[in-house]
Chain A
Amino acid sequence: MSWWFILVLAAGCYACKVIGLVVLGGRVLPPVVERCLALIPAAMISALVVLNTFSTGHDLTIDARAAGVGAAVVAAWRKAPFIAVIVIGAAVTAGVRAMS
């Protein structure tokens, strides 16, 4: 692998972070922007859940991960501790995969 690739990738990703936090950030924002920004985690994290559960590249799939994440949802709903939700998700996925 080329070191140039690694350095350009690192510089680009750091630039994204620093533009948001340092260059654009720290200004007083209009209330409507504040309201929208507050919804970013809910919108994007739920998208990350479905992306990491139901996709393999460009294909939508239902496999062992769906069972694991389903179990994780139940655990979160039953107010299980953070690590328990993750362990249950991984363990159920591994179990279903081992059986199929």
Chain B
Amino acid sequence: MFQLLRDPRTRTVVTASITLGVAVGVFGISFGVGAVSAHATVLQACAISLLVFTGASQFSAISVLLAGGSYSSALGGALVLGARNGVYGLAMSTHLTGRLGTRVLAAQLTIDESTSMALAQDDEQHRRVAFWITGCSVFVFWNLGTLVGALAGRAIDPQTFGLDAAFPAAYVAMVWPLLRGRRPLMAAAIGAVVCVALIPFAPIGVPILCAALAVLVGVPAPAPIETRAAEVSR
């Protein structure tokens, strides 16, 4: 591990991963605040972040309950959103090989941040480093943030500090390096358009799942010229 850290590129990956964890932790505060306002105890708020550990699902469950929805509708929306972690797991499975125990543990850390950080790297070693460091730092800081938010209760308003925009800003930073080449750009544009088009009509959580259909631009086999251009651009 220490030998690994001497490589400047690994250090860049580790720094970015931990930074992302801290940013998510700040957002965890607003989850803690929200959970307590939805009548969770401090212990329950912390249990949700430790055991469920997928921010979007947690937020959607809390917001449904806050809006007066039933437990089953809160559960439904959260699980639809959680389903994308299964797709992430599938994408990560070729990179995270190893003992069953390790993979069972890795599964709990398979979320937006760790997957996109890992897939943004271009070799196996850095992918694994990015996955584990991001997963662990997000886990630590998300849970710390939840505890702080749950204890602070309604005393802080995340909107005052623009914390609600910290999430999409972090996603911008994550997706930017991926947008090299025609296909990733098309997939990103189609994903965004599909999502916006569905937000007013589809149940909360569904637009994101439908956006995943944009990966179908990857179906046609790449033309030889395109392959060569992609190699040159690396």
Residues of chain A having any CB pair with chain B under 8 Å:
1-3, 5-10, 12-14, 16-22, 24-27, 29, 31-32, 34-55, 57-60, 64-65, 68-69, 72-73, 76-77, 81-83, 85-86, 88-95, 97
Residues of chain B having any CB pair with chain A under 8 Å:
15-16, 19-20, 22-23, 38-41, 44, 47-48, 51-54, 56-57, 61, 63, 65, 67, 71, 74-75, 78-79, 82-94, 96-97, 100, 103-104, 106-108, 110, 112, 115-116, 119-120, 159-176, 178-179, 183-185, 187-192, 194-196, 199-201, 204, 207-208, 211-219, 221-222
A42 to B87, CA, bound (A): 13
A27 to B190, CA, bound (A): 28
- B170 and A85 contacting across the interface, CB-CB below 8 Å: yes
Closest 9 CB pairs of A and B: A25-B93, A89-B169, A20-B89, A21-B89, A93-B162, A47-B211, A94-B162, A43-B191, A20-B86
Which of A5, A16, A22, A47 interacts with B192 by CB under 8 Å?
A47
Which of A20, A36, A42, A73 interacts with B172 by CB under 8 Å?
A73
- A21 and B93 contacting across the interface, CB-CB below 8 Å: yes
- A49 and B79 contacting across the interface, CB-CB below 8 Å: no
Interface of A is mostly: helix
Q: Min CB distance, B85 to chain A, in Å? A: 5
Given the interface pairs A42-B187, A45-B116, A85-B169, the reply to whether A57 lies near B52 with Cβ below 8 Å is no
Among A22, A38, A82, find the residue whose CB has the most chain B CB atoms closer than 10 A: A82
Among A27, A44, A90, find the residue whose CB has the most chain B CB atoms closer than 10 A: A44
Which of B172, B187, B211 interacts with A76 by CB under 8 Å?
B172
A45 to B216, CA, bound (A): 16
Given the interface pairs A45-B171, A47-B194, the reply to whether A86 lies near B23 with Cβ below 8 Å is yes
Q: Min CB distance, B51 to chain A, in Å? A: 4
**CB-CB < 8 A to B200: which residues of A?**
58-60
Listed A/B pairs (11) with beta-carbon separation below 8 Å = A12-B75, A13-B78, A17-B85, A19-B86, A20-B92, A22-B100, A31-B221, A36-B219, A47-B207, A53-B165, A89-B170
**CB-CB < 8 A to B189: which residues of A?**
46
A93 to B108, CA, bound (A): 32
**CB-CB < 8 A to B47: which residues of A?**
6, 10
**CB-CB < 8 A to A14: which residues of B?**
51, 107-108
Which of A20, A27, A35 interacts with B85 by CB under 8 Å?
A20
Which of B52, B90, B106 interacts with A13 by CB under 8 Å?
B52
